[in-house]
Structure 1
């Protein structure tokens, strides 16, 4: 079997070498250094760090808030992508730019803006306080911040896929007697689901590691609204490098397992 070559990109060996060197410098070596540093701990010390109640509470909060935010964006982002692809209306370009705003906006600025808006004395937060609940300084506020910063991942992943689905396919299904829900279930969903899972995975991964937009609206109360990235920063401020590294390894392993499961599910769905 002959290897397919490209007239533009250099040969396979050279290209692969550049790829591996770049990947090693940017990803593999830093992650390997973290594992090596964590390996200086005994298993008992490592387990004592990652099983501490404060760490487990932060782990649960970080991953659950990221999952809920990715799920919300999976629904709302699908509707937004559908609207932007299927309809032409005044202000469409403005909405397109607003969706990309979380990419360009510094996350700390987003966190300050969300906190000012949803704090108990804020424009929206005061109404929530009158109704008897809080948004800022609660897991709700954390999920809201993660929803804000991860929305573009779902929308931008689904838009090209939706644009490639001919409208004639939907019209043909409708002409054959399919109801709208049946058109969505049997025509659109199989084509959209792999891309939807990709967008969901990207949003979830970004949410797990998000720091700047969350620390302001979270309140950072241990055992209540403290996220894992903040706990790592706390360990570093205390010069507890082993503790910070152990928590980093925990985040990496759990994230890798969850993303691997999502990718396996995506591959299984994409099979003909």
Structure 2
């Protein structure tokens, strides 16, 4: 079955808006695990607008040996204040997977993937170091991307398809073109020996259609929609609904 990794960034946003430690991000992770999710995702950023380095470390301690741990972030963003940089965090906690994302402070959320041909030389040593740490490496890419053979050569094991455009097309009532682009991208990646993840704006409404179009989909990372839906139906119930769709 496709693994569901729950992104807990929005829990941290709510906590940070008030200060203190409530809601507790580790308790949220525990609730998701008890409901059956197979992984937890966080996306720490240098400006620490949501998940902070101490969250990354606390979650690593509680998750180890239980479910997969996926840390997302920009590998080119250097240390800033208490943020040591993505690679340094990976050295400290050795997550199951590191998803490399080319985002910056000016972006409200991740909204594009890597240009594989252009970025490969800079990515090569970082991917190599993550592999040496025992971390699986995934690259965030746009639907329509190519050159996956270049990614495989430097040690990348997976891609994560940016599904924001698909989600918007689905909401507009015309998802066929965006869905076909995602399916074609998945086929190209799998032909290059890479596994396929997906994430961004996937929801209970659009996930089933997406999964049916992507044979062999390894993982979906879902945060914003799942946490929003949890306000109405409860966190554990929302996780179980997603798992039912993925089955």
Pick the TM interval, shorter chain: under 0.3
Which of the two has greater helix per residue?
A: 1
Which of the two has greater strand per residue?
A: 2
TM-score normalised by structure 2 residue count: 0.27
TM-score normalised by structure 1 residue count: 0.25
Larger of the two Rg values belongs to structure: 1
